[in-house]
Structure 1
Amino acid sequence: MRPKRKIGLVLLMMTLVLAACGGGQSKEQAGGNEGDQEKVKLTIWHNFAGDDLRAKSVRSFIDQFAQDHPEVTLDAQAIPPDGYRQRLSTVAAANEMPDVFFVYAGSQSSELHQAKLLQPITEVLDAHSDWKDKFLPGAFDPYEFEEGQIYSAPLGMSATSILYYNKALFDKHNVKVPTTWEEMMAAVKTFNDNGITPIALGNKAPWVAQSTIIGSIADRVTGTEWFKNAAAQQGAKFTDPEFIEALGYFKELVDNKAFQEGANSIDNTQAEQYFIQGNAAMMISGAWTLTNLAASSSEEQMKDIEVTTLPTIPGGKGEAGTISGGAGGGLALSSRTEGKAKELALELIYAVSGPEAQKAIAESNSMVMYDTEIDESKVTSLYYKAFNLVKTTGITPVYDAYLSAEAAEVINNGLQEIMMGGPVEGVAQKLQDAQARSATP
């Protein structure tokens, strides 16, 4: 009987070993419940939910990451822009941030950092220094909350004060494209004399004149450092003579009928159509106009449109030939994401923000804050002109990116007041009062 018992024990041990081996194959290959638990779960939230080329491009890189990383269970949520901020604020309040999420430059990213809900992505930037080095100057400024630590890599660029002009109208009326303020006012007069609106403006939503015109004009007068000091209420005030002068240049445009009648009652989209149809010689607008016109206008309509920067201001302290704007939103990393999940989350950020993604976004007629080459045949002729202009142009601040929410509303409404005949000094005083309240501890 002993030999039989020995054989039985051997068979039992072999059975257990085979069972164990079979279990290992199930976890790694069959993907049962235990295998699923071995996967790394990642969540990503973003607002690229539309059918435009940019949104589709971003989503395609997220999908590609999921295909390339079968070890990741990726929960990707595309939330429409109108509700995105509120959704993010809700989970931020509960400290339940997704691992990776789209964040806006400015107050939103700053507040999330102050709440300790972000962690730097510096290590992935340093690991791909060739990628990091091709971002345009200032790209990381809104995301560098501590010296040497960067919290996002922008997926877009906010260029808000491009001077669009209809070359055919300029040629027909023998008008010089303005490079000085004197030439701008001469152009305004000539076009008015010939029954053509000099500058199309749709300021029904009052942020438009602030974002596209006053920030750029004011920077030419005051210089960037003065504005940042005034925004911080440290050594400069919005009642200072240089800012009164800057508002005065805007009022000069108004008084000389540079804008069409009823500019405060039509929106930006209507102004774009008014311009592209040849009713206005110029329009001062942002990069969003490139995307809008690409979707709504023909190549024939766009072929005569050229782009440049606003003219210089005599005696101004600011740099000439600049455009107001800055880094757009980018992907951020939750402070709660650790270990293997963090490693893969950083890979995801690189996949969606890296060189190939930047090129694809640029080729969707959307500005990027990244030095990339694009295929001219994939974009509109107007976008290609603007893309090459912005790549070589300095960027100055947009006012509402630095002002408090209250102060931004004051300057927005104040410019409407000036367009209706209000005094510049009153607008300056109200802006100063609002910003001073925000700076008071």
Structure 2
Amino acid sequence: MKKRITASLASVLALSTLVACSQAPAGGGEVKSGGEKKEAPAEKVKLSVWHNFSGDDLRAKAVRAQIEKFQKDHPDIELDAQAIPPDGYRQRVKTVAAANEMPDVFFAHAGTGIKEYFDGGLLQPITPLVNKHPEWKNNFMEGALEALSFNNEVYAVPINASVTSLFFYNKSLFEKHGVAVPKTWDELMAAIKTFKEKGVTPISLGNKAAWLAQSSILSSLADRVTGTDWFLKAAKQDGAKFTDPEFVQALTYFKGLADAGAFQQGFNSLDNTQMEQYFIQGKAAMMIDGAWALTNMAATGTKEQLDQVEVTVLPSVPGGKGDPNSLSGGAGGGLAISKKLSGKKLEAAYELIYTVSGPEGMKAVAESNSVVNYKVDVDPTKVTSLFLKAYNLTKQVKFTPVYDAYLSSQGAEAINNGLQELLLGGKPEDIAKKLQDAQAKSLGK
């Protein structure tokens, strides 16, 4: 009897096991009552993005808002977004790049900035994304993608434009002292002389950080003298040198401004913000600065002060080879993708870039009083009148290279420091040689 009970119990257990196995889902998931299968939640795609839009300015807020929109619209993606202050951003990315530990998506500066990562084999093109949206691709300004492209492949699209040589002037001071807005170099020198005689600083300058004189004045002035082709050859050390007569002539024009007393006292110890405040307060008649000044002056100046400001291009030079209807500038950098990405992570990266840099993102950045390399209709009620003037100007001119976007880091340092020296009485020939030596050495020539 005992043996029969044991055998019967074993049979029941075996049958129970067979029934349980027939009801269990193939993937080992849970079984609801009635045998209904319950799917396990899909694993989230993890994506990291680094950028330098960390400040409280309207542009930074606009970019961060687009990233937050992406997060909200894609709950299936776990986004690790890091906003790193601009001063330390480049070095931090270079540090992880040296260890081949790049973030999945990161902001790369145009020109030599992104080229370093391309040359290191750390990037992959976003051409498939760009070609997927031809109406988006074709709406960028002419040449906007060139500084972010290599071998006919696009590696980033510009989030904003880098316009560095806007020529601001106080129309009230010009009218008060009967000075015509200068369109030629001779007219500029005459205006400087008149304002000096009237006790008004002709041009506000703050070159403490050394880059501003190069980026905002020399880049545009030198292009008017030498033409763009000459500079690109000199930057590559291929068929032109910075000791060539045309570049020495450009430095001579620049030195002529200081010799004429165009700038306020202590310009090499004043920073960019102090320079802009000096101008907006009506203490200087002119200022040559980048598009970043638009937001800064809007934040510190009164409506009355801003209404006195007009904006145009730097005056032409006699016999110059460059286009006088131009501004130094171009693409300001954009989001690039690590070469390691594939599959769903790559698709997520594409979607993030399109959210930040697509038509909606471009409109948001433009309406934060920031110039973009994209054709977009800006709501005039959302920007200052001064920004609108500058933005419309950028649509009517040619863009020429900003020197430090094409020079090596050694070359950029040589010309930045050299211009400070030049403004204090240095010789154009000496500064030209320092730049030539630094650029040639960095390229191994």
Deviation at 1:70, TM superposition (A): 2.2
For 1:236, which of 232, 240, 243 is the aligned residue? 240
Q: Distance in 1 between matches of 2:286 and 2:200?
A: 10
Does structure 1 residue 130 correspond to structure 2 residue 130?
A: no
Q: Distance in 2 between matches of 1:202 and 1:314?
A: 27
> Is the contact between residue 139 and residue 327 of structure 1 (CA under 8 Å) also seen in structure 2?
yes
Provide the TM-score with structure 2 as the length reference. Answer: 0.92
Does structure 1 residue 394 correspond to structure 2 residue 398?
A: yes
Does structure 1 residue 206 correspond to structure 2 residue 214?
A: no
Does structure 1 residue 45 correspond to structure 2 residue 50?
A: yes
Does structure 1 residue 153 correspond to structure 2 residue 160?
A: no
Q: Which residue of 1 aligns with 2:38?
A: 25
Deviation at 1:103, TM superposition (A): 1.1
SS in 2 for 1:154: coil
Does structure 1 residue 54 correspond to structure 2 residue 66?
A: no
Aligned CA distance change for structure 1 residues 10 and 90 (closer, same or farther; 3 Å): same
Q: Which residue of 2 aligns with 1:247?
A: 251
> Is the contact between residue 215 and residue 397 of structure 1 (CA under 8 Å) also seen in structure 2?
yes
Moved more, 333-342 or 16-25: 16-25
For 2:122, which of 113, 117, 120 is the aligned residue? 117
Q: Distance in 2 between matches of 1:238 and 1:388?
A: 34
> Deviation per CA, 1:257-283, whole angstroms, max 9, x where unpaired?
111122122122111111111111000
Does structure 1 residue 432 correspond to structure 2 residue 436?
A: yes
Q: Distance in 2 between matches of 1:145 and 1:180?
A: 37
Moved more, 41-50 or 344-353: 41-50
For 2:414, which of 402, 410, 420 is the aligned residue? 410
The one-letter code matched in structure 2 to 1:288 is W
Q: Distance in 2 between matches of 1:275 and 1:156?
A: 25
Q: Distance in 2 between matches of 1:199 and 1:9?
A: 90
> Deviation per CA, 1:162-189, whole angstroms, max 9, x where unpaired?
0000011111112111111121112111
For 1:334, which of 331, 335, 338 is the aligned residue? 338
> Is the contact between residue 29 and residue 38 of structure 2 (CA under 8 Å) also seen in structure 1?
no
Q: Which residue of 1 aligns with 2:361?
A: 357
Q: RMSD over aligned Cα, in angstroms?
A: 2.1
Q: Distance in 1 between matches of 2:361 and 2:126?
A: 17
Q: Which residue of 1 aligns with 2:260?
A: 256
Deviation at 1:53, TM superposition (A): 1.7
> Deviation per CA, 1:55-86, whole angstroms, max 9, x where unpaired?
22111111111221222122222222233223
> Deviation per CA, 1:211-233, whole angstroms, max 9, x where unpaired?
11111111001100001111111
The one-letter code matched in structure 2 to 1:236 is A
Moved more, 379-388 or 429-438: 429-438
Q: Which residue of 1 aligns with 2:24?
A: 16
Does structure 1 residue 306 correspond to structure 2 residue 306?
A: no
Q: Distance in 2 between matches of 1:19 and 1:421?
A: 80
For 1:322, which of 313, 319, 326 is the aligned residue? 326
Aligned CA distance change for structure 1 residues 181 and 134 (closer, same or farther; 3 Å): same
> Is the contact between residue 161 and residue 310 of structure 1 (CA under 8 Å) also seen in structure 2?
yes
The one-letter code matched in structure 1 to 2:59 is R
Deviation at 1:246, TM superposition (A): 0.9
Moved more, 161-170 or 231-240: 231-240
Structure 1 unaligned segments of length 5 or more: list them. Answer: 29-34
Does structure 1 residue 421 correspond to structure 2 residue 425?
A: yes
Does structure 1 residue 97 correspond to structure 2 residue 102?
A: yes
Q: Which residue of 2 aligns with 1:195?
A: 199
Q: Distance in 2 between matches of 1:399 and 1:272?
A: 22
Deviation at 1:51, TM superposition (A): 2.1
Q: Distance in 2 between matches of 1:138 and 1:397?
A: 11
Deviation at 1:108, TM superposition (A): 2.7
Moved more, 15-24 or 394-403: 15-24
Deviation at 1:24, TM superposition (A): 5.1
Q: Which residue of 2 aligns with 1:31?
A: none
The one-letter code matched in structure 1 to 2:284 is A
Does structure 1 residue 280 correspond to structure 2 residue 263?
A: no
Q: Distance in 1 between matches of 2:406 and 2:159?
A: 20
Q: Distance in 2 between matches of 1:207 and 1:19?
A: 62
> Is the contact between residue 299 and residue 380 of structure 1 (CA under 8 Å) also seen in structure 2?
no
> Is the contact between residue 226 and residue 246 of structure 2 (CA under 8 Å) also seen in structure 1?
yes
Alignment of 1:65-84 (within 5 A): 65-84=70-89
Provide the TM-score with structure 1 as the length reference. Answer: 0.93
Q: Which residue of 2 aligns with 1:297?
A: 301
> Is the contact between residue 108 and residue 335 of structure 2 (CA under 8 Å) also seen in structure 1?
yes
Aligned CA distance change for structure 1 residues 270 and 14 (closer, same or farther; 3 Å): same
Q: Distance in 2 between matches of 1:426 and 1:66?
A: 54
How many residue pairs match? The answer is 431
Moved more, 81-90 or 380-389: 81-90
> Is the contact between residue 294 and residue 365 of structure 1 (CA under 8 Å) also seen in structure 2?
no
> Is the contact between residue 155 and residue 328 of structure 1 (CA under 8 Å) also seen in structure 2?
yes
Q: Which residue of 1 aligns with 2:5?
A: none
The one-letter code matched in structure 1 to 2:303 is E
